[in-house]
Amino acid sequence: MSENSLTIRKFSDLANPTRFLGLAARVLPWLIGLTAVLFAIGLYLSFTTEGDYQQGETVRIMYVHVPAAWLSMMCYTVMAVSALGTLVWRHPLADVSARAAAPIGACFTFLALVTGSLWGKPMWGTWWVWDARLTSVFVLFLMYLGLIALNRAMDDPGKAAKVSAILILVGFVNIPIIKFSVEWWNTLHQPASVLRLGGSAIDPEFLRPLLVMAVAFTLLFFTLHIAAMRNEIWRRRVTAMRRQAARAAGREV
Amino acid sequence: MMTHTAYVAASYGTAAVTVVVLILWVWTDGRARRRELQALEKAGIRRRSAQGGEAP
């Protein structure tokens, strides 16, 4: 068998919900273990490394705030790719993926907003300002809530999939706005300091816990996303089986 | 006036509560769906694709 046909076969394997469930059962225990270990290391580093000479202890808020903010955008990007999968390739799991990711993304965005606010009060002297970065992230949070509401409001999953996929893709315009808001406008929020041209501007003392926590949070996202996708597949099977049972009962009468 | 430590504690506290609630929601949702599937299978209802063997 050629290598090419093997790759295609593996890709098509993922499109099959039954095979996805098998894969999820195999992968989830490893992901859970790895996430727990990374969080243990990340939290240890977060509380044992030194405070900043200006920010003091509040620098530790960054080890939660920055990963949560990264994930809020990454989750939406995952949803946008899934929306393309629904509209372009009609991938059977694409809508399941987008639907399962929305509540997780909303939670991480909420976390980014709250921890940012808790850092802003002692450092900026205010809980909130309507600057471009903060406002665009708040809009992202509202979009997550809107998508969750839309998915729950529509009974027909096929129709809901198409409508929410279009809405996700339209809303994706907000992601580059969030990313570049600190460069395009004069914001109170600082510009990028980790991923930027010319290398990171952060001291390794702070960069180490930040990166470990970022990887831990990313793994937590994928663990929860795979588990939530599995739940969504089960939910659809239950609905299909109940409908089938109702039809069978109708024929018997 | 809150101390810096209080702001740090509030941030980590909110993060812990949010993450734990999220994990519990996914976990309980999964358990409830699995029980529903088992109950349906026990009642003799099988998916059409499962009746003819493995799903295509």
Interchain CB contact of B6 with A (< 8 Å): no
Chain B contact set for A13 (CB, 8 A): none
Q: Where are the alpha helices (DSSP H) in B1-56?
A: 4-42, 48-51
How many Å separate Cα A174 from the centre of its chain?
A: 15
Chain A interface, best mutation among B1, B7, B46, by max A CB count within 10 A = B7
**Residue A141 and residue A110 in contact, taking contact as beta carbons nearer than 8 Å:** yes
Comparing alpha-carbon positions, the chain A residue that sits nearest to B19 is: A107
Chains A and B: how many Cβ contacts under 8 Å?
93
Measured distance CA(A206)–CA(A60) in Å, rounded: 9
User: What is the ipTM, given to two decimal places?
Assistant: 0.87
Measured distance CA(A170)–CA(A158) in Å, rounded: 19
Measured distance CA(A71)–CA(A80) in Å, rounded: 14
Query: Which among B7, B33, B54 is the nearest to A121, CB-wise?
Result: B7
Put residue A12 in one of left, alpha, beta given phi > 0 → left and psi -120 to 50 → alpha: alpha
To the nearest 10°, report the CA torsion of A66, A69, A73, A78: 80
Residues 211-240 of A with CB under 8 A from B: 220, 224, 227-228, 230-231, 234-235, 237-238, 240
* Structural domain spans, chain A: 18-191+201-242
Fold classification of A18-191+201-242 is Four Helix Bundle (Hemerythrin (Met), subunit A) (1.20.120)
Interchain CB contact of B38 with A (< 8 Å): no
Per-residue pLDDT of chain A (253 residues; tens, 9 = 90+): 444 444 445 556 667 888 889 999 999 999 999 999 999 999 999 888 877 787 778 889 999 999 999 999 999 999 999 999 999 988 889 999 999 999 999 999 999 999 999 999 998 899 998 999 999 999 999 999 999 999 989 888 788 899 999 999 999 999 999 988 888 888 888 887 777 767 777 777 788 899 999 999 999 999 999 999 999 999 999 998 998 888 888 877 6
CB contact under 8 A, B7 and A18: no
